[in-house]
Amino acid sequence: MAEAVPMLSLELLPGWYEDWILFEGENWRQQRLHALEAAAEALAADERWGNAIAAAEAAVSADPLRESARAALIEVHLREGNQSEALREFERYKRLLDEELGLMPTPRLRTLMPGAGRGDVTDVGRGRLVAMSVAGAQRAGTYPLEAVTRQSRRRHGATEY
């Protein structure tokens, strides 16, 4: 599956503008984006994190405003346990969507990152993210950043401010 990612990153006859090519090119674009997103999910399920991220990033690169591509990348980061990467990607997408279209991410994407931009974070338990999928994120509660920070300081023996 990982071997297919470079081929799925290619456009159909770039620079050609005949009508039939434009139509077929859009069909190919949609199919390859879906295939890249599915590859990211399958590779993440096999815990092949680097390949999963490469597939999701290829989808994002092909269409930076496509929410399902961003969701695939964010989900891979979350499943790998890289909450900060997931949050960084969410914020990057949120900013781009606002600048380009004046829109906000949909509730589906916001569910992946509960608390993003509101000053609270997902329950991280013992350093592992609870919300590893949309369904998991819906079950996971959010906690004020201050409480999580206080809990983390206690766990690591830091002095309370």
The kind and range of the H/E element at 16 are: none
pTM for the predicted model, two decimal places: 0.64
CA–chain centroid gap for 141, Å, is 20
The residue extents of the domains of the chain are 2-155
Q: What's domain 2-155's architecture?
A: Alpha Horseshoe (1.25)
Please give the pLDDT value at position 24.
76
Mean pLDDT lowest among 10-14, 56-60, 65-69, 134-138: 134-138
- For 148, residues 6+ apart whose C-beta sits below 8 A from its C-beta are 120, 121, 123, 124
Token look-up 């991220």 returns 53
**Residue pLDDT, tens place only, 62-108:** 999 999 999 999 999 999 999 999 999 999 999 999 999 999 999 99
pLDDT band, very low/low/confident/very high, at 123 (cuts 50, 70, 90): very low
- Residue 46 identity: D
pLDDT at 39 over 90: yes
